[in-house]
Structure 1
Amino acid sequence: MNYPIPANPEEVMALQQKSVDEEIVAAAIAGVIQISRSEGKSLEQLTAEVLADDSLLDLQQRRWLKEIVAQAWESIA
């Protein structure tokens, strides 16, 4: 991966300044998982946040993202 995994919310937000590609999305997901773990959140809490209604993603997209986050959670040590 060409991008470091973000270590804090500010670094995740800074990724918005980059062109979106698979590596940026993967880095953002990995960063959110690591930040959530450092805050003591469980996978269930994180996926509940992913599923929360927002104006960016529709329900089907949020469900898809939830599955990706769950898979990444299990594979990131």
Structure 2
Amino acid sequence: MHYPIPVSPEEIFALRSRPVDEEMIAVAIAGVVKLARSQGQSLDDLTAEVLEDDPMLDNVQRRWLSNLVEQAWQTLP
């Protein structure tokens, strides 16, 4: 991977200045999962946040992203 997995909210937000590609999105999701775990959140907590109504994503996109987050949660050590 060309991007290290972020370990803080600041590092996750810093990804916004980089070009968007599949690898960057995967790294961002991995960073969010690791950060949520380090803050004691459960998969259900994180999934609920992803599924919250947001003007940026529609329901289908939020469900798709929720599935990706769940896969990352189960895959990452």
State the TM-score bracket (shorter-chain normalisation): over 0.9
- Count residues in correspondence: 77
Identity of aligned residues (%): 57
Q: Which runs of 4+ in 1 moved over 2 A?
A: none
Equivalent position amino acid for 1:2 in 2: H
Shift of 1:55: 1.2
Q: Which runs of 5+ in 2 are unaligned?
A: none
Q: Which runs of 5+ in 1 are unaligned?
A: none
Q: Aligned equivalents of 1:56 and 1:28: distance in 2?
A: 17
CA RMSD of aligned residues (A): 0.4
| Cα shift readout 1:23-74 (whole Å, capped 9, x = no counterpart) | 1000100000000000000000000000001111001000000001001100
Correspondence for 1:10: 10
Q: Aligned equivalents of 2:58 and 2:9: distance in 1?
A: 23
